[in-house]
């Protein structure tokens, strides 16, 4: 067993340190060491996006990033979306628009949509579909996911800055 | 009667049947707080990783564990020899066959389970699996089922080579599993002989995989102290799994607890019992610590629960007006290396004989020949009832073929052959009694909505310009809700389902079900049924499933049987409670039971609506001494529902495609889906199910296939190759409905989730083929990928101008 490295990063606003083998994937560190089981594992080839988290302002498929690459990083996962007991507009909209069924893709999907709305607060349907095309859903056919992202964008636009 | 607006208000407050109630289960999922099997973490838990065969057919000369055992973190390596002392190296399948849990001297498909490495974490387990050395002697493999029964074909299953039958009648070859037939062959043959016109087409439903986003897995935990086995498992049918585990292990069923937590999609893939589960359980029994085994995506697509692989031949006989006189459908079924086909005992070819569809066909015969090949065992019903997609695909394709042959419009030929409204209940030539239906209005509504005549005019103009545009129609009838116990059982257990309801003193309700949600929103839908039946607010109703220690026995959720069977059990259990409540109300109001009437949420005295007892009041009283003499306290009921018949929802779909003749790319311009699932409990959830089912139909029709080379090597078993549509290519779906209640279901509901998959696939195929119909093309096999469609364009020469 290889020597472990200490890696420090910021996870949903809290500083964490973990000791990991250099080969350990971020998704396993999050799920098994840090008990953040929101991000899921749906494939091992970076296609499904169930493991999507936000690292330093970019959506990352955490099944294809090594934890040792995260030294000093700032990370957001589905667990960091709810603030002060208030759901993020995207979480509320996924519920209200029936944008989820089995829920397995939902954490990655919301985290990806969250990044989209940071970059583009008023996306078109085509832009939404393009932006979430790295996140697969087997249940919804995406139609209500698109509606949810649009609804969340409207909610956020109506909120005072 | 109370004031109507006040009654309506009370009814709306319940949020019962008919309300698009937002889902109760969302709260945990949108926060990332779902509890899926890989989220389970138990003290001392070890990870299991399977060693799998690189060959499709090979003898195992030897297995050397020594290097694996030297890997840091590796605790043990299990092979078939280690399972033999407990007699668990083989297990029975749901198809009346046996399957190797770990390969016993021989492997019969690529990536077959050979050994399991147990280690302290998943990395060490994977390292260990890579270090197990297996010496194989490769054997010739059979990949094409048409070669399985050749006289000189290699024998795939030496363990049963001498057996005259494998659960379903005589075998004629060591690679033959069964031959099953239905209908009247002589009558069908006679009708064919005398028919004005006949058509025949070879039609493949290729091997596909349901590919839920979460793979299969389990955590097995055996307590040596108590002898109890707990298995957290991704199962659509936890109670059946518990029974299978009891049969396999000899552990009393009362000491086995199967827990299906949240399931990340199933679509049929999570019905069977897989070798990985059994090895993990044995490993936990042997080691005394919990064992987690989770499939990788490649393992999932390669080894668990494929669907279809039906090589069909369809034949129709008709008069010159296109009225069908007879049907003959046959299929060669590739079940892979073990017959682990999920099927009711009496239906080894599932419900394939629903293949007369929505049509009044007087003579029919069908036959299925099932064979072994060196491919993964199965299969399962991918978002359908067993073999219904195959059956519906055949009839919906063949009626188009007949229309083309006769030059009759594809909508018109359906009108001419529909079972008419006044014929219901209608018994098909195969003996199924279609409970209710009204096909013409459904089709006409859809044709009007899409301006069918206008589309045909546009198509004619496009054809004149050399462009390819196709219009597909499917008017399918489904068969759901397996099923009456007189006809349907699995391993001897009838396919009833169950609901237990307890009403607490303050009116809160907990209901426990024998079914198991995989995203269908059961916690919401069932609660709505109870809300309406008991007049208690949906917010106070909790629905639990999946824990066999808590829930009453049921056959689980597959074949869209939840609403037809589980939903009926829920209504019946609630009605038992309501009848007891009626007695208590009569007692409290000092009137006869017959003097009371039910009014939304209370019993009122007829003619004196001011005198009433609400269900909430009655719930409290039911837990006091102030109840009728001889009555027991409490307000609970359990119902085991054995449906008198299956349910037959139907739909009318139209699909419009534009095909790029230079690239073969199929662009799905429009898809209009009308579904009639009888009474609609939650329209929002129904629409969501239809979106999802149509998207899976789109995937199957345009891209999914599990391909092999001639040696049985997988050519596409990861998401690099296996097509799961993204948001970009997934079309926009338009939905519509009519309502024709089921006459035998307590709520009139028929079930819906698989209809869009079953009806969507032929509709899309029909559209693609219709684009080529004027060029004489009558059939093209799925998947209609750009490459394959381009080859058709190229063969016809249409890509050259």
List, for residues B47-58, the tens digit of each pLDDT value. Answer: 999 999 999 999
Residues contacting residue B80 through CB under 8 Å, at least 6 positions apart: B89, B100, B101, B102, B103, B104, B105
CB spacing of B265 vs A139 below 8 angstroms: yes
The pLDDT tens digits of the residues spanning B507-519 come to: 999 999 999 999 9
* Alpha-carbon distance B345 to nearest alpha carbon in chain A (angstroms): 30
pLDDT band per the 50, 70, 90 thresholds, residue B44: very high
Answer yes or no: are the C-beta atoms of B637 and B500 closer than 8 Å.
Answer: yes
* Alpha-carbon distance B275 to nearest alpha carbon in chain A (angstroms): 20
> What are the residues facing B512 on neighbouring strands?
B500, B544
Is B70 an interface residue toward A (CB < 8 Å)? no
Count CB neighbours of A158 within 10 A. Answer: 8
Is B719 an interface residue toward A (CB < 8 Å)? yes
- Six token digits for residue A119: 């970059």
Q: Is A133 exposed, middle or buried (0-12, 13-18, 19+ CB in 10 A)?
A: middle
Which class is domain B4-34+497-641? alpha beta
Count CB neighbours of B288 within 10 A. Answer: 13
- Cα Rg of chain A (Å, integer): 16
Residue B142 has pLDDT above 90, yes or no: yes
Q: Does domain B37-139+215-263+270-303 have CATH number 3.90.1170.50?
A: yes
Average pLDDT of the residues in B724-751? 98
Q: On the CB side of B192, how many CA atoms lie within 13 Å of its CA? A: 17
Is B214 an interface residue toward A (CB < 8 Å)? yes
DSSP assignment letter at B783: P
> What are the residues facing B79 on neighbouring strands?
B115
CATH superfamily of the A5-80 domain: Beta-grasp domain (3.10.20.30)
What pLDDT is stored for residue B4 in this prediction? 85
Number of residues that make up chain B: 801
* Domain residue extents for chain B: 4-34+497-641, 37-139+215-263+270-303, 307-482+645-800
CB spacing of B521 vs A139 below 8 angstroms: no
pLDDT band per the 50, 70, 90 thresholds, residue A13: very high
CB spacing of A41 vs B32 below 8 angstroms: no
Question: Least CA distance to A90: which residue of chain B?
Answer: B30
Percentage of the residues of chain B whose pLDDT score is greater than 90 = 96
Distances (CA, A) of B216 to A50, B126, B704: 15, 17, 20
Whole-angstrom distance, CA of residue B703 vs CA of residue B724: 8
The whole-chain average pLDDT of chain A stands at 97
B21: closest CA among B507, B535, B539, B512? B539
> What are the residues facing A75 on neighbouring strands?
A11, A55
- The verdict on whether B218 is a catalytic residue reads no
Residues 115-134 on B with a CB inside 8 Å of A are 121-124
Percentage of the residues of chain B whose pLDDT score is greater than 70 = 100
Query: Could you say which of B108, B355, B366, B384 is catalytic?
Result: B384
Residue that is written with structure tokens 């296609």 in the block: A47
* Alpha-carbon distance A100 to nearest alpha carbon in chain B (angstroms): 8
pLDDT band per the 50, 70, 90 thresholds, residue B801: low
The pLDDT tens digits of the residues spanning B420-443 come to: 999 999 999 999 999 999 999 999
Query: Is A131 strand, coil or helix?
Result: helix
Question: Least CA distance to B123: which residue of chain A?
Answer: A24
Residues 373-402 on B with a CB inside 8 Å of A are none
Residue B1 has pLDDT above 80, yes or no: no
B229: closest CA among B216, B212, B215, B244? B244
Residue B2 has pLDDT above 60, yes or no: no
* Domain residue extents for chain A: 5-80, 89-158
Answer yes or no: are the C-beta atoms of A83 and A72 closer than 8 Å.
Answer: no
Check the CA dihedral B660-B663-B669-B674 and report its sign.
Answer: positive
> Which of B297, B723, B727, B733 has the highest number of chain A CBs within 10 A, making it the mutation to test binding with A?
B727
C-alpha angle B460-B466-B472 in degrees, rounded to nearest 5 = 50
Query: Is B709 strand, coil or helix?
Result: coil
CB spacing of A42 vs B213 below 8 angstroms: yes
pLDDT band per the 50, 70, 90 thresholds, residue B483: confident
- Cα Rg of chain B (Å, integer): 28
- Six token digits for residue B702: 């345009």
Answer yes or no: are the C-beta atoms of B439 and B457 closer than 8 Å.
Answer: no
| CATH architecture classification, B307-482+645-800 | 2-Layer Sandwich (3.30)
- The verdict on whether B112 is a catalytic residue reads no
Answer yes or no: are the C-beta atoms of B692 and A139 closer than 8 Å.
Answer: yes
Answer yes or no: are the C-beta atoms of B534 and B574 closer than 8 Å.
Answer: yes
DSSP assignment letter at B317: E
Query: Is B267 strand, coil or helix?
Result: coil
Residues contacting residue B493 through CB under 8 Å, at least 6 positions apart: B240, B243, B555
CB spacing of A106 vs B720 below 8 angstroms: no
The pairing of beta strand B596-599 with beta strand B602-605? antiparallel
What pLDDT is stored for residue B395 in this prediction? 98
Residue B800 has pLDDT above 90, yes or no: no
pLDDT band per the 50, 70, 90 thresholds, residue B491: confident
> Which of B49, B123, B213 has the highest number of chain A CBs within 10 A, making it the mutation to test binding with A?
B213
> Which of A22, A43, A111 has the highest number of chain B CBs within 10 A, making it the mutation to test binding with B?
A43
Q: What is the ipTM of this complex?
A: 0.98
Beta strands in B25-132 (DSSP E): 46-52, 58-64, 74-79, 90-92, 98-100, 106-107, 113-119
Judge whether B4-34+497-641 and B37-139+215-263+270-303 match in fold: no
- The verdict on whether B257 is a catalytic residue reads no
Whole-angstrom distance, CA of residue B550 vs CA of residue B514: 10
Whole-angstrom distance, CA of residue A17 vs CA of residue A153: 34
A143 → closest Cβ in B123, B685, B733: B733
Query: Could you say which of B15, B99, B236, B704 is catalytic?
Result: B236
What pLDDT is stored for residue B94 in this prediction? 87
Residues 637-676 on B with a CB inside 8 Å of A are none
Angle between helices A89-96 and A143-158 in degrees, nearest 10: 140
CB spacing of B213 vs A134 below 8 angstroms: no
pTM (two decimals): 0.97
Question: Least CA distance to A78: which residue of chain B?
Answer: B32
Residues contacting residue B388 through CB under 8 Å, at least 6 positions apart: B350, B351, B352, B354, B381, B478, B479, B754, B758
> Which of B21, B31, B690 has the highest number of chain A CBs within 10 A, making it the mutation to test binding with A?
B31
Average pLDDT of the residues in B83-94? 93
pLDDT band per the 50, 70, 90 thresholds, residue A1: low
- Six token digits for residue B174: 């060591």
What pLDDT is stored for residue B342 in this prediction? 85
> What are the residues facing B737 on neighbouring strands?
B675
Q: Is A42 exposed, middle or buried (0-12, 13-18, 19+ CB in 10 A)?
A: buried
Q: Does domain A89-158 have CATH number 1.10.150.120?
A: yes
What pLDDT is stored for residue B630 in this prediction? 97
The whole-chain average pLDDT of chain B stands at 97
Average pLDDT of the residues in B588-603? 97
Q: Is B173 exposed, middle or buried (0-12, 13-18, 19+ CB in 10 A)?
A: middle
Average pLDDT of the residues in B564-579? 98
């Amino acid at each position: 067993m290889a020597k472990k490295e200490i890696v420090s990063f910021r996870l949903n606003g809290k500083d964490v340190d973990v000791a990991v083998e250099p080969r350990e994937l971020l998704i396993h560190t999050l799920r098994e060491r840090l008990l953040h089981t929101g991000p899921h594992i749906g494939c091992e080839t970076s296609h499904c996006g169930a493991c999507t988290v936000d690292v330093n302002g970019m959506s990352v498929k955490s099944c294809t990033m090594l934890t040792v690459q995260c030294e000093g990083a700032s990370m957001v996962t589905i667990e960091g979306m709810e603030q002060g007991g208030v759901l993020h507009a995207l979480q509320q909209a996924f519920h209200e628009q029936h944008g989820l069924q089995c829920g397995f893709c939902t954490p990655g999907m919301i985290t990806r949509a969250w990044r989209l709305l940071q970059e583009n607060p008023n996306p078109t349907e085509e832009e939404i579909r393009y932006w979430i095309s790295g996140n697969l859903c087997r249940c919804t056919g995406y139609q209500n996911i698109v509606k949810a992202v649009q609804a969340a964008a409207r909610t956020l636009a109506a909120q005072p800055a | 009667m109370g004031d109507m607006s006040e009654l309506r208000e009370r009814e709306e407050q319940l949020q019962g049947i008919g309300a698009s109630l937002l889902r109760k289960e969302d709260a945990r999922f949108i926060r990332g707080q779902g509890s899926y099997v890989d989220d389970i973490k138990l003290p001392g838990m070890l990870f299991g990783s399977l060693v799998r065969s690189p060959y499709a057919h090979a003898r195992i000369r030897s297995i050397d564990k020594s290097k694996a055992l030297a890997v840091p973190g590796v605790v043990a390596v299990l092979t078939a020899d280690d399972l033999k002392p407990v007699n668990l190296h083989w297990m029975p399948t749901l198809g009346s066959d046996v399957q190797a849990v770990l390969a016993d001297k021989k492997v019969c498909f690529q990536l077959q389970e050979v050994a399991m490495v147990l280690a302290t974490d998943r990395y060490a387990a994977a390292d260990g699996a890579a270090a197990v050395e297996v010496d194989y002697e490769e054997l010739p493999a059979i990949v094409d089922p048409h070669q399985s029964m050749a006289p000189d074909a290699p024998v795939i299953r030496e363990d049963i080579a001498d057996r005259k039958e494998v659960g379903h009648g005589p075998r004629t070859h060591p690679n033959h599993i069964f031959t099953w037939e239905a209908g009247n062959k002589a009558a069908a043959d006679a009708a064919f002989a005398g028919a004005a016109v006949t058509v025949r087409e070879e039609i493949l439903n290729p091997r596909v995989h349901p590919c839920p986003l979460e793979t299969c897995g389990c955590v097995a935990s055996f307590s040596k102290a108590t002898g109890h086995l707990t298995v957290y498992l991704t199962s659509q049918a936890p109670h059946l799994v518990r029974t299978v585990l009891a049969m396999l292990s000899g552990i009393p069923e009362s000491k086995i607890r199967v827990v299906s937590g949240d399931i990340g999609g199933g679509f049929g893939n999570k019905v069977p019992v897989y070798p990985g589960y059994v090895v993990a359980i044995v490993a936990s029994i042997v080691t005394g610590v919990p064992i987690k085994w989770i499939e990788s995506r490649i393992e999932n697509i390669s080894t668990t629960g494929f669907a279809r692989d039906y090589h069909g031949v369809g034949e129709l006989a008709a008069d010159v007006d296109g009225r069908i006189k007879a049907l003959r459908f046959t299929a060669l079924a590739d079940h892979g290396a073990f017959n682990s086909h999920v099927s009711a005992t009496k239906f080894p070819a599932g419900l394939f004989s629903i293949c007369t569809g929505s049509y009044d066909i007087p003579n029919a015969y069908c036959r299925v020949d099932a064979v072994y090949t060196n491919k993964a065992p199965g299969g399962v019903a991918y978002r359908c009832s067993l073999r219904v997609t195959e059956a519906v695909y055949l009839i919906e394709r063949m009626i188009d073929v007949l229309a083309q042959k006769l030059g009759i419009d594809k909508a018109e030929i359906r009108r001419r052959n529909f079972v008419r409204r006044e014929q219901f209940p209608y018994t098909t030539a195969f003996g199924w009694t279609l409970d209710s239906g009204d096909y013409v209005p459904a089709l006409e509504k859809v044709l009007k909505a899409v301006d069918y005549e206008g589309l045909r005019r546009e198509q004619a103009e496009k054809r004149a310009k050399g462009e390819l545009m196709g219009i597909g129609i499917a008017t399918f009838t489904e068969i759901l809700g397996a099923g009456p116990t007189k006809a349907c059982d699995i391993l001897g257990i009838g396919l009833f389902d169950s609901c237990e309801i307890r009403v607490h003193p303050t009116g809160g309700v907990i209901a426990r079900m024998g079914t198991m949600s995989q995203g269908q929103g059961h916690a919401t839908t069932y609660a709505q049924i109870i809300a309406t039946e008991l007049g208690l607010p949906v917010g106070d109703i909790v629905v639990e499933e999946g824990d066999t220690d808590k829930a009453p026995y049921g056959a689980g959720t597959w074949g869209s049987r939840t609403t037809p069977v589980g939903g009926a059990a829920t209504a019946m259990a609630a009605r038992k409670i309501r009848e007891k409540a009626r007695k208590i109300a009569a007692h409290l109001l000092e009137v006869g039971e017959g003097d009371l009437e039910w009014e939304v949420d209370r019993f009122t005295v007829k003619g004196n609506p001011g005198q009433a007892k609400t269900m909430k009041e009655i719930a409290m009283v039911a837990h006091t001494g102030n109840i009728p003499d001889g009555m027991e306290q409490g307000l609970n009921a359990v119902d085991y529902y054995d449906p008198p018949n299956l349910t037959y929802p139907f739909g009318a779909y139209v699909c419009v495609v534009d095909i790029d003749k230079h690239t073969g790319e199929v662009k799905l311009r429009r898809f209009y889906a009308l579904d009639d699932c009888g009474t609609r409990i939650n329209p929002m959830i129904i629409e969501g199910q239809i979106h999802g089912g149509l998207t899976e139909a789109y995937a199957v029709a345009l891209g999914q296939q599990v391909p092999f080379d001639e040696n049985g090597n997988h050519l596409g078993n990861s998401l690099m190759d296996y097509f799961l549509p993204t948001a970009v290519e997934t079309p926009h779906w338009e939905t519509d409905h009519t309502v024709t209640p089921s006459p035998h279901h307590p709520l009139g509901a028929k079930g819906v989730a698989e209809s869009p998959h079953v009806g969507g696939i032929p509709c899309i195929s029909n559209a693609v083929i219709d684009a080529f119909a004027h060029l004489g093309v009558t059939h093209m096999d799925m998947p209609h990928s750009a490459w394959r469609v381009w080859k058709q364009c190229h063969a016809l020469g249409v890509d050259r101008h």
